[in-house]
Amino acid sequence: MERYDEAMSEAESYYDREGGYEEFKSKYSSLYFPEEGDDYSAYLPISDNNKAKLANADGKILIGSQEVDVRDITTYKQLVELGKTPPNESKVSLMETSNVNGISTVIHNNRKFWMNTYHVNQHSMQPTIPHLFIEVCFRKKGVFGIWYNYKSYTEIEGNVSGVGYFKSNLNTFSSHDYLNIIKVVSPGSDILQAVRGTVTIKFRGMGDKTFKMTLDYPSEKKK
């Protein structure tokens, strides 16, 4: 994972000049470069995030006295199924965008931005606590029109029913994953409160452009 962090921090200095992509791909050969359509992002080729955190620069972890290669992503289809690729839909210019439980793809100059949210009753980090999962995604266009993942800053803020007030920011590669605990209707209850309200998101890649998104999840029973 540290190797991937390093790669994303350096991506712009390679993708934005002629010949840079080939150098980047050679330097970080342990990553996965699908080159699907105009998506030339480097992807971490490990589907299990916990294993990815333990893996060395070559995608291997030490089990006992043996090094085991945990890289298991070899096709673009796998990335699509894992939700790691940009959606197909797009808009050709920047506009005020307010969608329910997500924001469709917005393209402005050489930046692409979109958002997803999930009302999850279980999460691997805290498997017994329901969460609202907000996923902020972006890409940048390099030379020859290819899109790539890179490091940028986002900030979210909201005060919504079922969650309360939250404000947070991240400055790393896409996606930026924000988690907030969903409240129950009363102490000891297994019924979750409805999650409704407006979230604002700033994305530095588009000049600190502010987007607004409406959350509308009904009350439901914990699974």
Q: pLDDT tens digits for 132-145?
A: 889 999 999 998 88
Show which of 81, 113, 135 is a domain's final residue: 81
- Do 48 and 125 lie in one domain? The reply is no
Domain that holds residue 44: 2-81
Please say whether the beta carbons of 86 and 36 come within 8 A.
no
In a domain, 69, yes or no: yes
pLDDT at 90: 47
User: Which residue type sits at 191?
Assistant: I
Co-location of 117 and 197 in the same domain: yes
Nearest partner of 4 among 174, 178, 203, judged by Cα: 174
Residue 87's φ and ψ, nearest 5 degrees, are -70, 160
User: Looking at 32, 55, 81, which one is the last position of a domain?
Assistant: 81
Q: Look at residue 188 and tell me if it is in a domain.
A: yes
91 inside domain = no
Q: Is residue 87 part of a domain?
A: no
Condensed to tens digits (0 to 9), the pLDDT of residues 99-113 reads 788 888 888 889 999
User: CA 195 to CA 193: how far, in whole Å?
Assistant: 6
Examine residue 122 and state whether it is found in any structural domain, yes or no.
yes
- Kindly state whether residue 14 falls inside one of the protein's structural domains: yes
Give the end of a domain, one of 47, 81, 115. 81
Sign of CA dihedral 217, 203, 19, 91: positive
Q: Are residues 53 and 110 in the same domain?
A: no
Report yes or no on 92 lying in a domain. no
Chain segment 65-106, per-residue pLDDT in tens = 888 999 999 999 999 988 888 876 544 434 444 578 888 888
Assess whether 74 and 124 both reside in one domain: no
- Return the CATH number at 163: 2.60.40.3900
Are 48 and 21 members of one domain? Answer: yes
Same domain, 119 and 197: yes
Whether residue 162 sits in one domain with residue 69: no
Is there a contact between 188 and 46 (Cβ–Cβ < 8 Å)? no
Q: What share of the chain is helix, strand, coil (3-state, %, to 5)?
A: 20, 45, 40
How many domains is the chain partitioned into structurally?
A: 2
- pLDDT for residue 3: 79
**Domain identity same for 125 and 194:** yes
Q: 116 and 67, same structural domain?
A: no
- For 166, the token pair is 């939250």
Element (H, E) at 138: strand 131-141
Q: What pLDDT was estimated at residue 53? A: 83
For 151-181, the pLDDT digits (tens) are: 999 999 999 999 999 999 999 999 999 988 8
- The reply to whether 205 and 104 lie within a common domain is yes
Would you say residue 12 lies in a domain? Answer: yes
What's the predicted TM-score (pTM) here?
Answer: 0.83
Shared-domain flag, residues 102 and 201: yes
Residue written as token pair 């934005």: 16
